[in-house]
Amino acid sequence: MRSPRTNQMLNNSQTFLTTIMKSQIKSLKLKMWDCVWIGSLICYYISFFYYFTNAVFNNKFPPPTAIIVLIESVRLTMKSYAFIRSNVPRVLNYKSHSEKENPCPSFSKFLYFLFAPTLIYKDNYPRTRTIRWKAVFFYAIEFTSIILFISFFMNRYFLSVFQDYGKGPIPWKEVALHTLGNLPAGGAFMLCGFYILLHVWLNGFAEILTFGDRMFYKDWWNSTSYGPYYRKWNVVVHDWLYTYIYKDMYENVLPKNRFVPKLFVFFVSALVHEYILSVAFGFFFPILFLEFFVIGVTLVFLTFGGTFHGNIFLWFTIPFGACLAINMYCIEYFVRQNCPIENATATDFFIPRLLTCKQL
């Protein structure tokens, strides 16, 4: 017969093994549920982008309208990811018998976040006491005026110049001259885009929603290199990229490695910008991707020692990059309009018509 001590040891061993097995089964179930919900979230984002992309293609929106629709889809995606990323850890760490209140935010907080001019989710934001309707009115006047101004100089300096391209050989010397000659127009387009989106639009919505945090941009115009410029140009998007991509990747995926997360941030930014333009124009022409991911990353390493020479270089290259991108997209767009291909296939979406048009 077994001794009492032996029986006790067997019982303790059985208890230990049972506990380990239960914990492993529970852990396995949790991992399975994690995989299910992560897969569901990925499917949701894929179907979300597919719906907007399909809507743009099927309705044949003109490029400006398509860009607005696609930017809105990207904004909603960034908002939903920020909401999920901010609240899921709180819910998972919550204990049912805890004295803390339920971590799940109310729908009113989510609804306010959807329209608030920020991409970082918080339960509460700084709020102003009143709405200055006079300021809202002037923001609306500014918005309308800038739209008319952009429409004027886009037609004057870009569309009217390239509208006949594709009907004959492209005069590349003239393209180079137009690129250099239109540097002021490229700079004006960049400044108008910055002012209408990051100042007028966001401040207008902030005023209507009594949103108190108005730090949408910093003094990027005083930057002496591209590193500070990227951080100051668009604080709203920069904060989202830093919080939900760079920081997560640096802390959880590649600790003590700053370069790869930074490179991945540039890649995501370039990919999203290229997605918007490719779908809006109806062709893949990765000029903006190259400017963002290749040239943009390279220019970060040019610091100029913090002197004014870097600021001069910045103010020359930004309009040049904007002008070059607008010129090339306009040329490819009008070449496709004036030199159509019968029985076009899916590969024609990715092959520049500049290289395949027989009229050139």
Which residues belong to the active site? 273
Alpha carbons within 13 A on the beta-carbon side of 296: 23
What is the greatest pairwise CA distance in the chain?
A: 103
Nearest-angstrom CA–CA distance, 349 and 283: 5
Nearest-angstrom CA–CA distance, 58 and 78: 25
Nearest-angstrom CA–CA distance, 138 and 160: 32
Nearest-angstrom CA–CA distance, 327 and 342: 26
Nearest-angstrom CA–CA distance, 200 and 205: 9
Confirm if 354 and 336 have CB atoms less than 8 A apart: no
Which of helix, strand or coil describes residue 331? helix
List strand residue ranges (DSSP E) for the chain, in order: none
Confirm if 226 and 314 have CB atoms less than 8 A apart: yes
Structure tokens given for 33: 């549920």
Tell me the residue type at 149: F
What size, in residues, is the chain? Answer: 360
**Alpha-carbon torsion (353, 354, 355, 359), positive or negative:** positive
Nearest-angstrom CA–CA distance, 228 and 243: 17
Nearest-angstrom CA–CA distance, 356 and 341: 9
Nearest-angstrom CA–CA distance, 62 and 151: 14
Radius of gyration of the chain (CA): 27
The closest of 341, 336, 327 to 291, measured between CA atoms, is: 327
